Structure 1
């Protein structure tokens, strides 16, 4: 039995928690998919066969799947729990380049590398996986989760690409211009700035490059910068006596009032209601 619970879904990507309860050594019927995907095991293990090469997968070895690839699975140990990340070809190519193909050696044996399917999960990638799952619960899918996803995908692509990718560092001048344009869009409230991926598309760069440019130029992530702008607007409204916190949260782009409250407490140590009282007292 296979069950999949969506953790986050957007037009460019989907992340699901997948649980498989099965116990068989035989290979399943071949299937072909049209998406790029990275599947990381949380518990248990299983086998995957693609391009005529079989790989044993567990918490230390993930796999990268590409469109048009025929794959089969076997579950000799009773099942597993995985995180499945599905990505559109457009997003994948923005990170990997137009000529990308999985294939170079991955450090998981010569046969696995040639198929481009096995990906060694070192401690850094393990942490990126855990952070992705934790961030999916935060409610900030369009920025915080998107940045965690881009970090994970860039690692997977960098280790499986058979050739150069567009993930190298840009010049400082390029970073300055890019961050300046992104800041303007965020501050002015351009509709594309509601999510990281549309913002990158508006600026004509890969989302990974935009994500990496902010820490290099400002010392903070684009997610934290956007929070800074929204928190400033929230403080303006609270200082003016705003009482409709649910409406305020929606207007500022938070998932709900609870998300606004968590963010204000995280950055300022107080709830919105407490901040409203503090600001009112400061004006006495």
Structure 2
């Protein structure tokens, strides 16, 4: 069957893909064992699944949890369908589930807030110049929310328990990002000894901003230093500070500082 698959993120044990299945064959696919853990979020269409012989109906109100080793078959009674696929490595999955990568069985039903988070993730992933750290944060948060509907106690088990512990964790993450603002979410979480999901949650709760926005603030401050010194090569500045390109630098600087780099250079050098 014709399948269009667009990978939007593939790093640090996380994969996000936009998949369109057109003109699927009639009847059931051949049985095959699942080889990865995955979350399949149907956006359009209807899919029937057989998992170890048990049938399930998958539609935009539900999320299919693909468990490694399970034998699965699918049929497409309404023709083609469109879905989002999230694949999480065993290590990342263990981080989300309190150290144990075994996946609880069941079908997750969506809520309006999860549907909005899902679509926001897709929108940001497709936007030009979007930061990989932001997408990793969003993928991790959505996966944790979905798994939390199956095993809430396990998803919550890795969260630091006291205010002092949460502040220490955030300070360690801030220190790591100040040393190297180009670190990924997985890099920072390894350095501070906390799962990416819990690091993102605690960081946002303590600081009132995401890791992505904090890291971008650090990079904008460094950009302001260079602009104040009269830096004119914005493409090189973008590369030095880890932005995708000059357009990405301009977008982030305008978002956080309120003005584009060229205007800020004039103001900071005393000519504006």
Normalized against structure 2, the TM-score is what?
0.92
1:29, distance to aligned residue in structure 2 (A): 0.7
Look up the SS of the partner of 1:39 in the other structure.
Answer: strand
Pairwise CA RMSD of aligned residues?
1.9
**For 1:7-44, what per-residue CA distance to the aligned partner results, in whole angstroms no more than 9, with x for missing partners?**
11114111111000134451101122332111111211
CA distance in 2, matches of 1:185, 1:173: 18
Uncovered stretches (5+) of structure 2, i.e. residues with no partner: none
1:215, distance to aligned residue in structure 2 (A): 2.1
1:162, distance to aligned residue in structure 2 (A): 8.2
Counterpart of 1:156 (choices 146, 154, 160) is: 146
Match of 2:259 in 1: 270
CA distance in 2, matches of 1:87, 1:211: 17
CA distance in 2, matches of 1:11, 1:154: 16
Look up the SS of the partner of 1:160 in the other structure.
Answer: coil
CA distance in 1, matches of 2:152, 2:121: 26
Match of 1:111 in 2: none
Match of 1:170 in 2: 161
Point out 4+ residue stretches in structure 1 off by more than 6 angstroms. Answer: none
Match of 1:187 in 2: 178
Look up the SS of the partner of 2:194 in the other structure.
Answer: coil
Match of 1:143 in 2: 133
Q: Output aligned runs, 1:126-275, within 5 Å.
A: 126-138=115-127, 139-161=129-151, 164-165=154-155, 166-168=157-159, 170-189=161-180, 194-275=183-264
**For 1:68-108, what per-residue CA distance to the aligned partner results, in whole angstroms no more than 9, with x for missing partners?**
122111011111111111110100110112335434xxxxx
CA distance in 1, matches of 2:151, 2:183: 31
> Which moves more between the two structures, 224-233 or 52-61?
52-61
**For 1:147-187, what per-residue CA distance to the aligned partner results, in whole angstroms no more than 9, with x for missing partners?**
11121011111112386333545311111111111111111
Uncovered stretches (5+) of structure 1, i.e. residues with no partner: 104-114
